[in-house]
Amino acid sequence: MDKVRIGVIGIGMMGTVYAKMLLNREIKGAELTAVTDQQEEKRQWAKGAFGEGIDVFDSPEMLLKSERVDGVIIATPHFEHAQLAVKAFEKDLHVLCEKPAGVYTKQVRQMNEAAAKTRAVFSIMYNQRTNPVYRKVRELVTAGELGEIKRTIWIIDWYRSQSYHDMGSWRGTWAGEGGGVLLNQDPHQLDLWQWMTSLTPVRVRAFCGFGKHYNIEVEDEVTAYTEFDNGATGLFVSSTGIAPETNRFEIYADRGKLVVENNQITFYRNRIPERQFNREWRGGFGTPENWKCDIPVTGNESGHRGIIENWVEAIQYGVPLIAPGEEGINGLALSNAMHLSEWTDDWVTFPIDEELYLKNLRDRMKTSVYKRI
């Protein structure tokens, strides 16, 4: 097709950004043709802001059946992502879903099954996959430069003030968001963790603080210990209540240690792989000779625009997706497992018990201060 006609469902902060990108012709091969939002105030605003050529529908269902779009960008609250995607797939429409893929894996699994029944192109807004630093880490791991991975550590903070949480009655609540730092701020890291290393989690033990730093219901701090299929271990530490923030990712492997911080990659490379050194060394105390290498990183991060452009090119020309939508369940499974581990005060193995998770989530939603419409 010459132009992919795109509708944006949800014109809050990010939905408006995407709509304006399309309206301003910043995405080659795509055009904005329709928008919708559950709030009448935003729909009225859109009629004036986007002009007469853009249809403003009263509901997502009306937009989906309008035949005015070839694909949709879903930028609604978390609970609605998967259910709206399923409805779009039923109309054979292409879908680009904002992160996270959903709130719980059972819902997202159903979304993936619906996607598999169509020829629609399904992507997710994992814009951090366009970051050349993380792409380089993935390249090094895939090429075998690090050898077998033994341990990973990611410390990632996202400072948020109480006023941030007070911006909406749904913020910081189980019924409004379905989670805190794990579901709001960390989906990118939980995705990248697996995407860069190709490690598959086996079990996790997590400790979460709910409303530890703020007047909120959901988690604002988490420390999780994970074991992976190859025997490697992982530590994930995150909070919205720490200032100054830290974003440091480390990979310990047979051929050395990789440190990612401040958009730089440092490889402490063992001249002789540790396992080989262990077999051959006869001197008692001793360690492999190690070289500090600054890894060059080239290219620019295309971010949200890059994911949208890639999605459009996949629709038009069949190019491979940077962030296939079906992979959204991977990071969410880690998030759900961490919640469930804290709730049950126990280890959680993969695949998680989806019904047990959902029961625990619904119990918290029943007592939430936010009441879903």
What are 176's two structure tokens? 């409004």
pTM assigned to the model = 0.95
E strand spans, the chain: 4-9, 30-36, 55-57, 71-74, 94-97, 122-124, 149-157, 201-210, 219-228, 233-239, 247-253, 256-261, 264-270, 290-295, 348-349
pLDDT at 169: 85
* pLDDT computed for residue 373 by the predictor: 54
Query: What's the one-letter identity of residue 24?
Result: N
Query: Per-block average pLDDT, block size 10, for the chain (373 residues)?
Result: 94 95 96 96 95 94 97 96 98 97 97 98 98 98 98 98 90 94 96 97 98 96 98 98 98 98 97 96 95 97 97 98 98 98 98 97 95 65
- For residue 51, the model assigns a pLDDT of 87
Which residues share a beta bridge with 151? 233, 252
Count of H helices and E strands in the chain? 13, 15
Half-sphere exposure of residue 285: CA atoms within 13 angstroms, side-chain side: 0
pLDDT at residue 312, rounded to an integer: 98
pLDDT digits (tens, 9 = 90+) for 36-81: 999 999 999 999 999 889 999 999 999 999 999 999 999 999 999 9
- The alpha carbon of 327 is separated from its chain's Cα centroid by a whole number of angstroms, namely 9
What confidence score (pLDDT) does residue 329 get?
98
* Nearest alpha carbon to residue 254 among 236, 270, 241: 270
